[in-house]
Amino acid sequence: MKKKSFVWHPNTQMNEWKSFDEIVTAKGMWLIDSKGNKILDAVGSMWCNVWGHSKPELIKAIVNQSKKLQHSSMFNLTHESAEKLAEKLVRFSPGMHKVFYSDNGSSAMEIALKLALQYWQNTGEKQKSKIITLENGYHGDTFGAMSVGYVPQFFGNFKKQLFPTLQIPTPNKYRIPKGYTYSDYQIYCLDKIETQLSKDNKIAAFVMESGAQVAGGVLIYPKNFQKKIKKLCKKYNVLLILDEIATGFGRLGSMLQYTEQKSIPDIVAYGKMLTGGYLTLAATLSSKKVYDSFIGEFNDRKHLFHGHTYTGNPIACAVSLENLNLYQKDNLIKKIQKKSKVFEKYYEEIAKLESVGDIRHKGMLMGIELVSNKKKKTPIRSKKSINKIFFEEGKNHGIYLRTLGNIVMLVPPLAISEKDLDFLLKRTIKTIKSAQKQVF
């Protein structure tokens, strides 16, 4: 008899799933289920896995730290692994000065928003309270994060409770509005930003993912787009908050997208790959300018009223430190840049598939947009969730796949070998071929 489950799964129509495969262990890039089936983790365990599973160095860091100190609060106290990690993060994050820990990306973004909004309160420009963002951005599932990353299909039920934001379109080369070229449309978007910033002195911060929008459909920004936004923020005295949670730490082929994009922010959020994907930790870093505004006498009430039970958990910080040491020892970023070319070998074959409208790829991230009519670019739709169809078909072909809307996402562990990447791409093609039959 099937065991009754009491678990409610994330982003899932539970009615659609009779049961869920149970993963019992994982080694390298492979997940192993209770029936002994091996599937390649093409989701990188929700975009956070760096080295694959069961990496001895990371396990050792967890074990060693858990023998010394498992958890101790950061309220009134500190500990070695949080101190060492904060120093490391500040040293490789140009323009950043202090680190505020939390335990997931959404919280890191909430903190970023609170820092930015309070900065203007602390500095006496109390009218500055509005947030400007890009359409299609995604920053997490908590209320502040939903407000700044408002996706109607996901968050429509909560619209009334979300705070309003100003949204600017994001240039998407595949879906440029009629009458524009790609470069015209970039100018149009940047002009819109400038118009908003110049006419409204109540804008506190511009919030955007750094380098690309991931959940919004793998939209890689055109060259200099982010740099130009940074310039506009500076010109109009608006703070720039960058979200590197999904795109930093090598996912797009550089350690930080904001250094590649020459756009030093005032506040930046890290998460996901920070611990190599082994424990839950996130960090919000701020510039000295922002941090200094929170300094005053106790009764000035300028300090930040925020903190979580597991803020700066010692085991998570220890594994993160070891993870970052391995980045250096292994020269991971260079290797990603080389391996990224494996994806390119398959562009043509993927593009030829009947349901594929567009391929977007950078570093270790690929989004394949599915359409029902290539000419009209009609997004593919189905009664059953496309994700479920692709998940089942992917499993039949030995890969763990997840789609977001009509986008097949390839987000493998960063240290995946070229051989496993070849396997992943070949099996993705097979999966699309068999899954598209069910959707059309």
Ligand X SMILES: Cc1ncc(COP(=O)(O)O)c(C=O)c1O
d(CA 329, CA 306): 35
Near ligand X in 256-275, by CB under 6 A:
271
* Shortest separation between residue 163's beta carbon and ligand X, angstroms: 17
Ramachandran sector of residue 185 (left: φ over 0; alpha: ψ -120 to 50; beta: rest)? alpha
**DSSP β-ladder status, 166-168 and 130-134:** parallel
In the window 169-228, what residues touch ligand X (CB under 6 A)?
209, 214-215
Contact between 246 and ligand X by CB under 6 A: the answer reads: yes
- Closest CB to ligand X among 111 and 356? 111
Rule CB under 6 A: is residue 45 a binding residue for ligand X?
Answer: no
Cβ closest to ligand X, residue 130 vs residue 139: 139
**93, 102, 104, 340: which one contacts ligand X (CB under 6 A)?**
104
Q: Per-residue string for binding with ligand X, 19-38, x by CB under 6 A?
A: --------------------
Q: Which stretch binds ligand X (CB under 6 A): 132-140, 168-176, 325-333, 420-428?
A: 132-140
Q: How many residues bind ligand X (CB under 6 A)?
A: 14
Residue 132 C-beta: closest distance to ligand X, Å:
17
Sole binder of ligand X in the list 140, 357, 367, 405 (CB under 6 A): 140
At its nearest, how many Å lie between ligand X and the CB of residue 270? 10
Strands (E), 149-302: 166-168, 203-209, 212-213, 219-220, 239-243, 267-270, 282-286
Q: With contact defined as beta carbons under 8 Å apart, do 288 and 277 qualify?
A: no
Which residue number, 149 or 357, has a Cβ lying nearer to ligand X? 149
Least Cβ distance, residue 149 to ligand X (angstroms)? 7
Q: Which residue is nearest to ligand X (CB)?
A: 105
Strand stretches in 188-304, DSSP E = 203-209, 212-213, 219-220, 239-243, 267-270, 282-286
Closest CB to ligand X among residues 197, 269: 269
Handedness of CA 412, 414, 417, 422 (dihedral sign): positive
Q: Which long-range contacts (CB under 8 A, 24 or more apart) does 27-31 make?
A: 27/52, 27/53, 27/54, 28/52, 28/53, 28/54, 29/53, 29/412, 29/413, 29/416, 29/417, 29/420, 31/400
Using N-to-C axis directions, what is the helix angle for 314-330 and 56-68, rounded to 10°? Answer: 150
Look at residues 366, 370, 374 and name the one whose alpha carbon lies nearest to residue 387: 370
**Residue number, 112 or 321, with CB nearest to ligand X:** 112
The residue (of 171 and 271) whose beta carbon lies closer to ligand X is: 271
Segment interacting with ligand X (CB under 6 A) among 105-113, 296-304, 348-356, 410-418: 105-113
Q: What span, in angstroms and rounded, lies between the C-alpha atoms of 285 and 91?
A: 11
163: exposed, middle or buried (Cβ count in 10 Å: 0-12, 13-18, 19+)? middle
Q: Comparing C-alpha atoms, which of 332, 369, 361 is closest to residue 345?
A: 361
427 touches ligand X (CB under 6 A)? no
Query: Rounded to the nearest whole angstrom, what is the least distance from the CB of residue 210 to ligand X in the complex?
Result: 8
Adjacent-strand bridge partners of 404: 407
Residue 138 within binding range of ligand X, rule CB under 6 A: yes
Q: Tell me how far, at minimum, the Cβ of 44 lies from ligand X, in Å.
A: 11
Of 41, 110, 243, 420, the one binding ligand X (CB under 6 A) is: 243
As measured in angstroms, the least distance from the Cβ of 249 to ligand X is 12
Candidate residues 86, 146, 245, 414; the one interacting with ligand X per rule CB under 6 A: 245
Judged by beta carbon, residue 228 or residue 251, the one nearer ligand X is 251
Tally of CB atoms within 10 A around 93: 23
Shortest distance, position 281 Cβ to ligand X, whole Å:
10
The secondary structure of the chain in percent helix, strand, coil, rounded to multiples of 5, reads 40, 20, 40
Q: Which residues bind ligand X (CB under 6 A)?
A: 104-106, 109, 138-140, 209, 214-215, 243, 245-246, 271
